[in-house]
Chain A
Amino acid sequence: MLYTILYGFSMGAILYFIAIGLSLTFGTMRVINFAHTLTYSIGVYMLITFIPLFKWNFIASAALAILVVIPISYLIEKFIIRRLYGESLDYTFIATFAITLIGVDTIKWIWGVFPHPVSDPIGTYLKIGDLTFPIYRIIVFVIAIALFFALELFFKKTIVGKIVVAALEDKDGVRCLGIKVDKYFSGVFILGSALAGLGGILYAPIGAVHPYMGLSVLLLAFAVVIVGGMGSLKGTFFSAFTLGMVMALTARYWSQGAETMVFIVMAIVLMFRPIDI
């Protein structure tokens, strides 16, 4: 049972990394970003490329992979997302999905369609009595908690964070103060994409790496954002860990049903609290 809870926490942490960017993008720009997990897959593939170059140094290659993700997400924001401000949701949906298609195909082109294994970078286990926990999962969980508090601090204390939070409430009001909202929005977008890349890198040793990995996790991230409330930081945090726990508990008793259970939870939430967008 302890294993299940630990698995739930690490799954929740990964979901949090991915969903937070999606939630921020939606909250600030009102753009449903289907291309969000593209940076997730790109981060993982960059990691795979860099690891042999850096003599299996996980941290260095992860940092470099995230650095590569940032300009890519900037380009996506500048050329596609920025043109979609104020468009109807259908078109943003379709355009960002088109970016995903292009990205997935590029990944297939460069790295091939076959799954790549990534080994656990730490590989040691923590022993408490008879129980052993992989330390890696504990570290992932700790990073997620740290990130949550860091983001809270960022949005509460720094001026940039405050501007973004104010823009979440009332975009036009902030613009009337003479602040270039779009510049901050693109910053938020890049931050969200980098976090998604980080999530992908941290998930790579736990799960499998294949070109369509982004699409399958994207649906889970959407479920997290919808359950937690669009554009809400705390809501995303709690719903990520709740849904991670739901996945872990379902997987314990019925391994294939884990993802489906998340969607059932999402459908139930939507039934009682439909979101008008």
Chain B
Amino acid sequence: MEEAKPPKPTIDPKPGPSVEMMMAVKERAWIDLLVIASAFLLLVPIISIHRVIDFMIFCIFALSFDLIYGYMGRLSFGHLLFLGTGAYSCGLFIKYIDKNPLLAILVGILVSCLLGIFVGLVVVRATGACFALMNLAFNFIGFFLVLSPLRDITKGEDGFGIHAQSFWFLNPANKTNMFLFALLCLLLVFFLLRRLTSSPYGILIRSIKEDETRVRFLGYNTYFYKWLTFTVAGTVAGLAGTLSALNYKFVNPNVMDVHGNVGVVFACLIGGAGHLYGAIAGGVAYMMISNYLAIHILRWEMFLGLSLLMIVFRFRKGIWGSILTLWDYWRRPKEMQPAG
């Protein structure tokens, strides 16, 4: 029998983000991007290309949600508001002003960023359930606005088609171009969020998740950081919205239907909240379930509910969290051998 080892001191080996760590992040970023790009390229032959575009857009959205929920620890039940805002402002720009898709994407991002700035000012003051419900209320207001008072512009429930011209290599009519562009956007978002979450700012928002009062004691203005995070997440969700509008060439109020929010929460949880890879894994898993299971199983909402319950009671770490645990388990004996 092996004798019991003295417990290792549980001091985190990484005291803070030093310059070396930032360099390491920079180097690792290339590997991360390569892995993601090759994973999605591998998916293309397995499932059709337009589905993969869908998957990637949803992954961008799940990443933006993960920033709020996984990293900052605030559950939002109205994140689709930003996706819908991006989609609608992009679509309306193309319909009424100019048919340039790149410009429309920029407009969509800008509008959802502005919306994030204003909604964030109100919303970040609340915590817990109030945060979730206020987001839900704003989402409901947005859904209602496009459905009814702005009916003349947005065509109400029917929605409207988007006919964008091609610009440079961005050609919404060509699936390959669209795929490459969406992949580029996903990699860009991933890289940006990776840098953001491993910076001192990222550590600060994770500390807000742990205990906001203590962070405030340290002298940080937590409202500002929460607001900033909310705005960034809203902007990224807006990007996902513009991409989905260009991809479907069609917008209707369903893009910001309040009940759709459960999808992204599910994706984030099943993938493992608080990890960027987790958001991507969860996004792909959710899209697989909703695309394929919905065809084969009639009662798929029930399945979704049951699996959410399972996750809450048994599987909180999610896919990526379990992989990390396994990885640790597999690696630990090797590290301990020379020491013991």
Contact = CB atoms under 8 A, between A and B. Distances in A.
A275 B130 contact: yes
Given A101-B302, A105-B305, A106-B302, A276 B137 contact: no
A105 B259 contact: no
What's the dominant secondary structure at chain A's contact region?
helix
A158 interface: no
Contact of B269 (A89, A94, A276, A277): A94
A80 B144 contact: no
Instruction: Kindly state the interface size class of chain B when it binds its partner.
Output: 35 or more
Given A94-B265, A102-B302, A266 B125 contact: no
Contact of A275 (B126, B136, B308): B126
A98 interface: yes
B124 to A, nearest CB: 10
A34 to B, nearest CB: 9
Instruction: Kindly state the interface size class of chain A when it binds its partner.
Output: 35 or more
A263 interface: yes
Interface string A242-277: 000000000000001101100110110011001111
Interface string B98-142: 000000000000000000000000100111111011101110110
B306 interface: yes
B309 A98 contact: yes
A98 B122 CA distance: 28
A94 B308 contact: yes
A95 interface: yes
A139 to B, nearest CB: 31
Given A94-B265, A267-B138, A270-B126, A256 B144 contact: yes
Interface stretch (A7-15, A59-67, A144-152, A215-223): A215-223
B304 interface: yes
Interface in B282-328: 299, 301-302, 304-306, 308-309, 311-313, 316
Contacts of A256: 144, 147-149
Contact of B312 (A95, A212, A260, A267): A95
Interface string B136-167: 11101100100111000000000000000000
Contacts of B312: 91, 94-95, 98
A90 interface: yes
15 contacts: A89-B128, A93-B75, A95-B312, A100-B305, A101-B262, A102-B306, A102-B309, A105-B305, A219-B136, A226-B133, A257-B149, A260-B144, A263-B141, A277-B127, A277-B129
Q: Which 5 A-B pairs have the closest CB atoms?
A: A101-B305, A98-B308, A102-B305, A263-B137, A105-B302
Interface of A: 32, 80, 83, 89-91, 93-95, 97-102, 104-106, 108-109, 212, 215, 219, 222-223, 226, 256-257, 259-260, 263-264, 266-267, 270-271, 274-277
